[in-house]
Amino acid sequence: MSVVVSDTSPLHYLILCEVAGILPSLFQRVFIPPQVFSELQQANTPAVVRDWAQNLPEWVAVQAPQALDPTLGVDAGETAAICLAREIKAAAVLMDDRAGRNAAKQCGLAVVGTIGIIEQAAIRGMLDLPSTLDRLQQTNARLDSKLIQAALDRNRTRSR
């Protein structure tokens, strides 16, 4: 088990899919920077996500990075998550946004997205991959259909 830093979208969508509880089984601790904590509580955020953020589970810690790197060229939450992950030597950063993922990789960080988290949980028998991906597709997540199909194909291969 390892320590990770999360950007907003993986938490947001795992909460909407009602599977955020898989995270402490996959990772020892999930850190979020204050910028992500704030994004989870914005007025236009679904109530279930805002409620979750206002009552953070014990396995989530809010921690600010010591310094922000303005040269990353990504939004405030992604910048803070990348900088915090580098500082605490996190095993990975949980992030979906393509620009953020690219910036994190350029900083030498491992990146895991929402689909990857769901797939890892399915491999460990914590959830049903097809039904969880179906719930994910019912949210407003911008998903690459090729990534979803690849995860479903790998799941079918494992199930044989």
Report pLDDT digits (tens) over 19-44.
999 999 999 999 999 999 999 999 99
Tell me which DSSP letter residue 20 carries. Answer: G
Which domains are present in the chain?
3-115 (3.40.50.1010)
CA angle, residues 18, 82, 112, in degrees to nearest 5: 45
pLDDT value of residue 5 = 98
Q: Which residue(s) pair with 6 in the sheet?
A: 94
| pLDDT > 90 fraction of the chain, expressed in percent and rounded | 84
Lookup: tokens for 85: 């992950």
Least confident stretch, 103-107, 109-113, 144-148 = 144-148
- Which residues does 41 contact at the CB level (< 8 Å), separation at least 6? 50, 53, 54
Q: How far apart are CA 17 and CA 119, in angstroms?
A: 13
Question: Which residue type occupies 20?
Answer: A
Question: Which residue type occupies 159?
Answer: S
Q: Does this model's pTM top 0.85?
A: yes
pLDDT value of residue 18 = 96
Question: Which residue type occupies 98?
Answer: R
